[in-house]
Amino acid sequence: MDNLSLAENFDQYFEVKFANTKQLREESYRIRHSVYCDELEWEPKQQDGKESDECDDYSFALLLVHKRTGQYAGTARLVIHPPNEPDKKLPFEQHCLSSIWSEVINLADFPRGGFSEISRLAVPETFRRRAGEKNMPFVINDISLQSDVFSEEERRNFPNIAIGLYLSIIALAEMCLHLAMFVVAEPRLNKRLNRIGFLFEQIGDEHDFHGNRALFYLPREKFTSELNPEILELYSLLEKQLKQQMFLLPYLNR
């Protein structure tokens, strides 16, 4: 057991699923509601328990599945300009355009549909909670689970859920042949991502939006170039899983 690589260990407990049905997309919305509406209260609560916005019409959602229980351990989406409506805006274009450092980057250099944004990454509290932290039972996907349902070995893998989601989204952008990715994040989070090998570069002023945040940019040539061999092996595993589930028409700059 101790000799397993990060990818082999992760593969024992989790797999990535492309949300290619209405049912799976709604599972993503439910996770988002539990995190962004119920827990953080950043968005208004909805009667149907699903958090969504207009960008979901041109987004691709991913889910991480906990294999043993079949429960969803996290979600994230990649927002892409729709080819038939290229003027549709990505979330950062709606909220952060005025903060971009024009001397560093010019969005006009990137053709519509040739770049994307990581958005709405969420991991339910269940998959972030340490054993014994709370005595109350909790509910995921309509199944009540007691706080000792996960083994200690499983819990040791919980910090890798967010890493797996980032790697999966980057794999999706790579498969789409995107020229760049963007994300709005806390600078301190970006420092942690940099240590893993996600070399996002800050390209805008920091602003107060549910905490101190800024816009970051990752060009295609740096999608995986700085990942260490262990992280790169996990990336390859998740990319292989995604390729088995989908057929994409990649962006081509003709």
pLDDT in tens, 138-177: 233 333 344 457 778 788 788 899 999 999 999 999 999 9
Q: Of 209, 212, 222, whose CA–CA distance to 181 is shortest?
A: 222
Distance, CA of 161 to CA of 4 (rounded, Å): 17
Residues 6 or more apart whose Cβ sits within 8 Å of residue 85? 58
Residue 239 in domain: yes
Distance, CA of 208 to CA of 128 (rounded, Å): 25
Residue 1 in domain: no
Which pLDDT belongs to residue 233?
97
Q: Of 82, 83, 76, whose CA–CA distance to 172 is shortest?
A: 76
Task: Give start and end residues of each alpha helix (H) in the chain.
Answer: 6-13, 22-32, 91-95, 152-156, 160-175, 187-196, 229-243
Share of the chain above pLDDT 70, in %: 88
Instruction: Please measure the distance between the N-terminal and C-terminal CA atoms of the chain and give it in whole angstroms.
Output: 49
| The token pair that represents 184 in the structure block | 């709005």
Residue 166 in domain: yes
Q: Kindly indicate the confidence band of residue 137, based on its pLDDT and cuts at 50, 70 and 90.
A: very low
Residue 254 in domain: no
Provide the residue range defining the domain that includes 173.
6-243
Residue 61 in domain: yes
Which pLDDT belongs to residue 23?
96
pLDDT in tens, 81-128: 998 999 999 999 998 888 999 999 999 999 999 999 999 999 998 887
Residue 136 in domain: yes
Burial label for 253, CB within 10 Å (0-12, 13-18, 19+), is exposed
Spell out where the chain has E strands. Answer: 14-18, 59-66, 71-80, 115-122, 138-140, 143-145, 180-185, 201-202, 207-208, 212-219
Residue 232 in domain: yes
Q: 59-66 and 212-219: which strand pairing?
A: unpaired
Q: In the beta sheet, which residues pair with residue 65?
A: 15, 72
Distance, CA of 220 to CA of 170 (rounded, Å): 9
> Can you tell me the mean pLDDT for 212-221?
93
| The token pair that represents 148 in the structure block | 């000792």
| The token pair that represents 142 in the structure block | 């309509």
Q: How many domains does the chain have?
A: 1
* Domain CATH for 17: 3.40.630.30
Reduce the DSSP state of residue 141 to 3 states and report it. coil
Distance, CA of 161 to CA of 159 (rounded, Å): 6
The average confidence (pLDDT) of the chain is 87
Which pLDDT belongs to residue 148?
58
Distance, CA of 84 to CA of 82 (rounded, Å): 6
Residue 224: pLDDT over 90: yes
Which pLDDT belongs to residue 9?
92
Residue 251 in domain: no
> Can you tell me the mean pLDDT for 168-192?
92
